Structure 1
Amino acid sequence: MSSRRAITSIVLVPAAIALGCGPEELLNEEVTTSTREPLRGPRFEMPQNGLHPDAARVNVELLSALKATTLSDAGLSALLNQQSLADLFYTGAATSAENLMAEVVSCALDATQAVTPDGYASTWRGRFGLCPGWSDTQPTQDCLDLVSACVLARMNALDREVPISIHVPGDHEPSPRVKLHSFLRDRTRIRSLDRCPISVMYVADTCNWQPHFVGICKQGTPVTLQRNAWMSVRVCNGIHACDVDQEDQSFPDSPPYAGFVDQFTAGDTPITFTCPDDEGAHPRGQPHHRYFSIMVGKVPYGWVEDDDIVGSGLDVTYPADESQVFTYPEGSFYGDIFTGSSDDLGYVCHSDLWRTGGTYLTDRLCANPSDRASCGAIGGRAACRDVCGAGLSAPPEEAYRDCEGGGRVWNGVTVYLNDHRDLSRDPASSAIVCTPHDECTPGAPLPDGCSPVVTSVCAADPYCCSTEWDGLCVSEVLSAANSLMCPVPSCGHALCTEGDALTPGCDVPPLTSSGCVKLLCDQDPYCCGTAWDTTCVSEVQSVCGKTCN
C-alpha cells in the first residue's frame, strides 16, 4: 500500500463533527475515490484542530494495537472486543478514545470510507486519504508517520476548534476556493445552515442557508459581488458562517473571528456591502485587508454552483484560494504515535514567523504554559531552520522536509494559519516578525499595523512608518510601546527572548531604578540562577508591567 503525499488543507474537527451526519450532508459535497479531489475540491471544508494534547499519551495502548489491524468494521470490532481497549472509550474526558479515533480515521482514510465497530454508537469517517489502504491491509511505516503527523498537528491545549491548512511533502496544488466553516470555534454549529421543516420551502433567517466561500477585501471599503443566479445572500465576518444579527465572536484577549455583516433578499442583481473594519484576521503583509464569507439561500433548496456569486477588483478577491486564506506558517509536526511508548510520541518545530517560537509553541500545546515540566507527549520546540535539513520547500508546496527528532529524520506536515493569533492565549506569545526588518533594527519604514509595537510607535512618531525606521524609532519601542523586545547589550539577550540566566541590574540603563531583571528575579530566582525560560519571558509583563509584543 502507498501513502498519499499531497499538501492538504485540513480543519481539525472534534469527534461530534467528524461523524458527518445531519443537514450538511445535503450540500453538494465532492466525494470521489480519488484522494486529491476531496482535499482540493471547492466543497471541501478545511480541517480544524481541537484534539487534546494528551489524547495520544492516554490512549497509547490503543494506538499501538491499531497498527497491527485494519481500519475497517471487522478490524476495529475485533480489536475493541479487548476490555482494556474498550474501557478507553466514552470516559467523558477530553482524552476519551473516540475523539482520537475520529482524528486517526479522518487523517488516514478518504471521503469514500467510514468505520463503524460492532456495538459502538460512533461512525468514524475518512476525509484526507493520507493512508487509504489501511482499510484493507496493515499500514507501512511511511503511512504511520504521515497519519501521526496529521494527528499531532490537530492538537491544541485551548479547547478551540481552529481551521488550519496542512502541507504534506509532495505535489501540491492549493484549493482554488476555501469553503466557509460551519461551526464556530467553541464547536457551536451555525443554526442557519440547518434545513427548515419540510413545510417551509423558502429561505428563512434561521434555516435553509448553504455555505459558499471566503473572500478578501480592503477594510472599510465598498465590496460589490455579482449574483449569477436567483438567491438570497448573507455576508459574514472572517472565514466562518454566521446567524443573522450574530454578534462578533471572540475569545479573551483575542480579536473577533466571526460575526454578521449584512444580508440581501432574493434577487440576481449585484450586491454591495462594506468590508469589515475591525481587528480581525488579515493576510500576512496586508494589515489593511480583511476576510469575509458568503452564505447563499436558493429556492428550492438545492445545488449551489461555484460561480453563483463572484467578484474581483483591485481591493476584492472572491473567492480567495487556500494560499491567500492561510498565510501564516506555524511550523512542522512529525513523529510516530503508534510506537506503544508514551514518551516522545511526536515532535514540533516552529517557523521563522514567530518572535519567540518556543514560547508560542508552549502556549499552543501546554495546558499550563507556566509549568516548566514537560508539556504532553510532543517534544521539540526548536526552530525548523535548525532541525529540518532540507528547509522550507518552494511554492506551491511550502513544506518542511528532513526534520530531526528522536535520532531519526522525518517528513511530517507543515501547518499554516489564517491568523497568527488563532492558537495562542497570550498576545505576546503570538507576536510575529515584521518585514523587511524587525523593530529593533534601523532601516526602511515598517508598515503600520504589522505588529502592536509598530502601531504604537507610529502613532507617536509617524515618521517611522512613512520615511525611515531610524534609531529614534528603535528607542521608542520602549518609550512609546512599553516593550522590552529589543536586546540589551549588557544583558546578552532581550528580556523577551529565552536564553541564559540574566544578571540583576543588567538592564539599567535603558531602564531606570533597579530595572526589570532584578525585580523579576527577586520573585523568581530561577531566571537569574538557572535559565531565562518561557516563564521568565511571561513574567516580563506580569511582574514588570512591560510587554513583549
Structure 2
Amino acid sequence: MNFPHPANKTASLHFLFHPLALGVMLLGAPGCQSELPEEAWEPASGTVERELRVANSLTTKALVLNAISTNPTASDLLIGGGLAALFHPITGDSYLQRQLRDVDAQSFMSYLVSCALPAGNTIAWRDPLTLTTRTWEGKAGLCPQWELGVPSSTCKNRVSACLLARNNALGRRVELSMRGEDALQPALFSLESQTRPVEYDPALGRVPSFEECATAQSGVGRDCGWKGDFIGRCIPGQTVRLGAGGRTPDQCLTGPSLGTWSGARMMLRVCEGNIGCDSGDTRYLGQSQGTCATTNAAVAFTCPASGFFNVMSAPYDSTLTGNASVAVETGTYAGTSYRLSEKAVYRLREGAYYGNIFDSKALATKVLVDENGHIVGKDQTIQGSVYKKMFSCQAPEWSNDAAYASHRVCALPGSGANCAARPVGDCINYTTPSASKCRKEDGPVVLGDGNFEECYDSENTLWWEPITVFLYEACGLTPGIPSEYCTWRSTKK
C-alpha cells in the first residue's frame, strides 16, 4: 500500500484514549470483556484529553434516506452557508425549510448540529409540520465555524465521521466514545476523568428512576428522583462494600464507615454495568436507606460477572436536597476501583469511520420533498452504500469483521443494501500489513491512545479525519446479530 506524506497535515481529532501498541493485544477477554487494570489505560503524561461520550440512536434508514443529506440540492445549500442563517425560523432558506417536512431530515439535522457545534450552542428552526420554532443543540464541537459560516473540508469530514459513527440500524440509544486527534487544537479537548452512569436503557428508553418525582415521595424503593454517581470495576464473585457515611450490614460491629453525606439524608442504589436501574430491574444489585440501626447508607453486594457496577444516589425525601460522597472499601479487596475514567469503561475498540457525506455528486440515490409537500424517494432499496464517499474499517479484534460491519452500517444488513458507508476491511491487519486500511492505530499526538489514523478508502484515497469508536459492550449496537459475527477475540487476527 502506498502511504503518501502530506505537507500540511499534522493531526486528526482526539476525543478519548485507549493504549494499544501495534502488535500487542491489550483489548478483549472472551465474552466481550476486558480484564486490564485501570492503570493500563492511562495515556502518556503531559497530554490534554477530552473524551466524547455520546449516544447513537440515529437510525441508518434516517441517515441514508432523508431529504437533506440524500438530496443534492439541499446538501449543496447546507455546506454553502452558516447553519444559523440557513435554518432561521423566519428568514431561513425556503427550500431547506420545505425539506424538513421529512422527519428523517429533522433527525439528521439534530445529529449534524450535535456533532458540529459545542455544548451550549443551539440552532433555531421552524418545524413545518407543527409550525412551531424548535432548536437543535450542539455537543461535540467538531465544526464550530459552521454555525455562522461555511464549513471547511476538514470540518465536513469530521462531522461526516461523527454522523456515521452515531448511527445504527435499529436506532438504539447506546452510549459510545468517539476518539480522534488534533495537534493544532490540543487545549480544545480537556479530560473528563470520571464517568457517570448512563440514564437510558437501549431497549426501553430513559430509566424512570432518573426522572423527577411528580409528587413528594420517600424511601429507597421509589423509582424517581435519583441521580447517577459514578462507575466502578470489581472482581466477579467478590464482595464489594461501599457507602455514603455508613457501615455495611455485614460489618456493623467491626467495619469502617465508608464515605460521607451532607444536607438531606441520602440513599444509595447499585446497578450492574454502566446503565442505572430501577429497584426491580435485572441490573439491580442492592440499595440502602440506612444500615446498622442508623440512617447512614451503605451497601454490600457480590460483584457481577461483567465486573462493572454503577452507583446512584437520592435524598430519602424527594423534596429535599443532599449530596453523597461514595467511598469503596479498599485494602482487602484491592481489585475494586471506583470513579472510573471513560476510557476504562468504554474500552472495546470497534472501528473507524471516515469520508465526506456532503459530496452531492457521490450519492447513489435522491430523496426530496416536492413543491406539493410530498416526500419522494423514501421507499428505495439501494445495493451497497448510498454515500459513495463514506467508509468504515473494523478493528482486528472482531471474529468476523465483514459481517459485523454490514450489520453496523447497513439499514438492510442481511442483503447489504441501504448502507451508510462502504466497509473496506481491517483498519489494521497484523498478518498482512499491506492489507491494512489505516497507516496508524496510535496517532502521534498522544502515544498509547489506540486511535486509528490516516485511513484509506476503497479507491486508496487517504482520509485524515477518521473517528474511532470504543464501546462498553461489544454487541450493544447490533442486537440480534449472530454471535459468530459479534465475538470479541482474545487474540488478534
Identify the residue that residue 97 of structure 2 maps to in structure 1. 86
Tell whether the 8 Å contact from 1:239 to 1:291 is kept in structure 2 after alignment. Answer: yes
Higher helix share: 1
1:264 and 2:288 correspond:
yes
Identify the residue that residue 107 of structure 1 maps to in structure 2. 115
Identify the residue that residue 295 of structure 1 maps to in structure 2. 312
The residue correspondences of 1:17-416 to structure 2 (distance < 5 A) are 46-58=53-65, 59-60=68-69, 61=71, 62-72=74-84, 75-77=87-89, 81-83=93-95, 85-89=96-100, 91=102, 96-118=104-126, 119-170=131-182, 171=186, 175-186=192-203, 188-197=205-214, 199-200=216-217, 205-227=222-244, 228-229=260-261, 230-246=265-281, 248=282, 259-266=283-290, 267-277=295-305, 282=306, 290-298=307-315, 301-302=320-321, 304=323, 307-310=325-328, 312=330, 313-340=333-360, 341-342=362-363, 343-371=387-415, 373-385=416-428, 386-393=436-443, 395-405=447-457, 406=459, 407-416=461-470
Give the Cα–Cα distance (whole angstroms) in 2 for the partners of residues 351 and 128 of structure 1.
Answer: 23
Give the Cα–Cα distance (whole angstroms) in 2 for the partners of residues 56 and 90 of structure 1.
Answer: 15
Tell whether the 8 Å contact from 1:169 to 1:412 is kept in structure 2 after alignment. Answer: no
The SS at the match of 2:222 is coil
Paired residues, number? 376
Task: Name the structure, 1 or 2, with higher relative contact order (CA <8 Å, separation 6+).
Answer: 2
Q: Offset at 1:370?
A: 2.7
> Do the aligned partners of residues 415 and 232 (structure 1) sit closer, same or farther apart at CA in structure 2, a change above 3 Å counting?
same
Give the Cα–Cα distance (whole angstroms) in 2 for the partners of residues 133 and 98 of structure 1.
Answer: 21
Give the Cα–Cα distance (whole angstroms) in 2 for the partners of residues 79 and 205 of structure 1.
Answer: 48
Tell whether the 8 Å contact from 2:270 to 2:312 is kept in structure 1 after alignment. Answer: yes
Higher strand share: 2
> Do the aligned partners of residues 224 and 416 (structure 1) sit closer, same or farther apart at CA in structure 2, a change above 3 Å counting?
same
Q: Offset at 1:150?
A: 0.8
Q: Offset at 1:120?
A: 4.3
Give the Cα–Cα distance (whole angstroms) in 1 for the partners of residues 464 and 80 of structure 2.
Answer: 22
Summarize deviations over 1:235-264 as a string: whole Å, max 9, x none. 112111111112x3xxxxxxxxxx222111
Tell whether the 8 Å contact from 2:405 to 2:423 is kept in structure 1 after alignment. Answer: no
The SS at the match of 1:367 is strand
Q: Offset at 1:381?
A: 3.0
Summarize deviations over 1:91-114 as a string: whole Å, max 9, x none. 45xxx1111111111111111211
The residue correspondences of 1:508-527 to structure 2 (distance < 5 A) are none
Q: Offset at 1:201?
A: 7.4
Tell whether the 8 Å contact from 1:392 to 1:398 is kept in structure 2 after alignment. Answer: yes
The SS at the match of 2:484 is coil
Q: Offset at 1:303?
A: 6.6
Tell whether the 8 Å contact from 1:173 to 1:396 is kept in structure 2 after alignment. Answer: no
Further displaced range: 329-338 or 204-213 = 204-213
Tell whether the 8 Å contact from 2:272 to 2:284 is kept in structure 1 after alignment. Answer: yes
> Do the aligned partners of residues 203 and 79 (structure 1) sit closer, same or farther apart at CA in structure 2, a change above 3 Å counting?
farther
> Do the aligned partners of residues 75 and 158 (structure 1) sit closer, same or farther apart at CA in structure 2, a change above 3 Å counting?
closer
> Do the aligned partners of residues 208 and 216 (structure 1) sit closer, same or farther apart at CA in structure 2, a change above 3 Å counting?
same
Give the Cα–Cα distance (whole angstroms) in 2 for the partners of residues 320 and 197 of structure 1.
Answer: 32
Give the Cα–Cα distance (whole angstroms) in 1 for the partners of residues 353 and 396 of structure 2.
Answer: 15
> Do the aligned partners of residues 174 and 148 (structure 1) sit closer, same or farther apart at CA in structure 2, a change above 3 Å counting?
same
> Do the aligned partners of residues 114 and 301 (structure 1) sit closer, same or farther apart at CA in structure 2, a change above 3 Å counting?
farther
Q: TM-score, structure 2 length as denominator?
A: 0.69
* AA of the residue aligned to 1:317: S
The SS at the match of 1:358 is helix
> Do the aligned partners of residues 142 and 304 (structure 1) sit closer, same or farther apart at CA in structure 2, a change above 3 Å counting?
farther
The SS at the match of 1:414 is strand
> Do the aligned partners of residues 302 and 104 (structure 1) sit closer, same or farther apart at CA in structure 2, a change above 3 Å counting?
farther
Tell whether the 8 Å contact from 1:4 to 1:131 is kept in structure 2 after alignment. Answer: no
The SS at the match of 2:205 is coil
CA RMSD of aligned residues (A): 2.9
The residue correspondences of 1:454-533 to structure 2 (distance < 5 A) are none
Tell whether the 8 Å contact from 2:267 to 2:313 is kept in structure 1 after alignment. Answer: yes
Give the Cα–Cα distance (whole angstroms) in 1 for the partners of residues 190 and 447 of structure 2.
Answer: 10
Gaps of 5+ in 1: 10-35, 249-258, 283-289, 439-549
The SS at the match of 2:206 is coil
Q: Offset at 1:133?
A: 2.6
Tell whether the 8 Å contact from 1:4 to 1:130 is kept in structure 2 after alignment. Answer: no
Give the Cα–Cα distance (whole angstroms) in 2 for the partners of residues 191 and 269 of structure 1.
Answer: 22
Give the Cα–Cα distance (whole angstroms) in 2 for the partners of residues 52 and 296 of structure 1.
Answer: 33
Give the Cα–Cα distance (whole angstroms) in 2 for the partners of residues 87 and 166 of structure 1.
Answer: 32
> Do the aligned partners of residues 199 and 74 (structure 1) sit closer, same or farther apart at CA in structure 2, a change above 3 Å counting?
farther
Give the Cα–Cα distance (whole angstroms) in 1 for the partners of residues 112 and 320 of structure 2.
Answer: 34
Tell whether the 8 Å contact from 2:60 to 2:168 is kept in structure 1 after alignment. Answer: yes
Q: Offset at 1:79?
A: 7.9
